Amino acid sequence: MTLKPARLLLALIAVATAPAFAQNIAVVNGKAIPTARVDAIVKQVVAQGQQPDSPQLREMIKKDLISREVLMQEAEKQGYSKDASVKTQLENARQAIVVNAMVADYVKKNPVKEADVKAEYDRFVKETGDKEYHVRHILVETEAQANEIITKLKGGAKFEDLAKQSKDTGSANNGGDLDWATPSSFPPVFSDAFVKLQKGQVTEKPVQTPNGFHVIKVDDVRAAKLPSLEEVKPQIEEALTQKKLQAYQEELVKKAKIQ
């Protein structure tokens, strides 16, 4: 069958324009909304695990995009896009989007190495230590007061009773109890004093910190319950990634000509 010239022309027009319509979900007052925008939002929603791709989801997104386009056109008509405050916010948003894209690409091309994660974990274990201490303390204003407490303890006084006079109100009514903790949880001058003690021992001399003078007792010692490498790996990777990004940013700033 041979098409007449008029019908052939209409058929060609239909074929030529079909892809253009397929590329848009709608045309609002002459402004096209590309189907690609729906696809991008669907991909994001699915990736975040909010809900699976479906005709209902796409229809909801389509309606939202149409509503937004209508509002955008009205805002443009009323001149809001020319407002100085709006322009500033748009520029800030533009910079954030562009920079985030660059950062994501940089992280992808410069991933944290497994060896670096392991080294950071080993450093954490070494600094934390392999022991936990159940510690009590009494904090007073002067060295003389601390020495007086130590003398009373040697004379048979109970640590818990003397702890009631401690400046540390958080632990005073609980016998000076600081609970179980690793040495790294305390200032070095404080932890250096109690790691030398055995179970049940009290510091022979007052320990001075910016808060005052401490008398410290070790109630008990046990093996530290540290998380495994696999448990903290995501946090270590994130920390190392941020450290890498910080170094990259500082390098760029250093190279920039700033007047």
pLDDT tens-digit readout, 90-108: 999 999 999 999 999 999 9
Is there a contact between 168 and 176 (Cβ–Cβ < 8 Å)? Answer: yes
Position 13 confidence tier, pLDDT thresholds 50, 70, 90: very low
Q: Where are the beta strands (DSSP E) in the chain?
A: 24-28, 31-34, 131-140, 177-181, 207-209, 212-223
The predicted structure's pLDDT at residue 126: 87
Q: Which residues contact 136 (CB under 8 A, 6 or more apart)?
A: 159, 160, 163, 171, 175, 176, 177, 178, 216, 217, 219
pLDDT tens-digit readout, 113-138: 999 999 999 999 888 888 999 999 99
- CA distances 62 to 13, 34, 40, 98, Å, are 27, 10, 12, 26
**Is the dihedral angle over the CA atoms 221, 222, 223, 228 positive or is it negative?**
negative
Q: Which residue has the tokens 């997104």?
A: 61
Is there a contact between 231 and 243 (Cβ–Cβ < 8 Å)? Answer: no
Position 158 confidence tier, pLDDT thresholds 50, 70, 90: very high
Task: Please give the model's pTM, rounded to 2 decimal places.
Answer: 0.61
**How far is Cα 119 from Cα 105, in angstroms, rounded to an integer?**
25
**How far is Cα 240 from Cα 237, in angstroms, rounded to an integer?**
5
pLDDT tens-digit readout, 34-67: 999 999 999 999 998 889 999 999 999 999 999 9
Cα–chain-centroid distance for residue 60?
Answer: 32
Is there a contact between 210 and 197 (Cβ–Cβ < 8 Å)? Answer: no
The predicted structure's pLDDT at residue 104: 95
- CA distances 230 to 120, 121, 162, 233, Å, are 13, 10, 44, 5
Q: Nearest Cα to 63, choosing from 26, 111, 9, 95?
A: 26
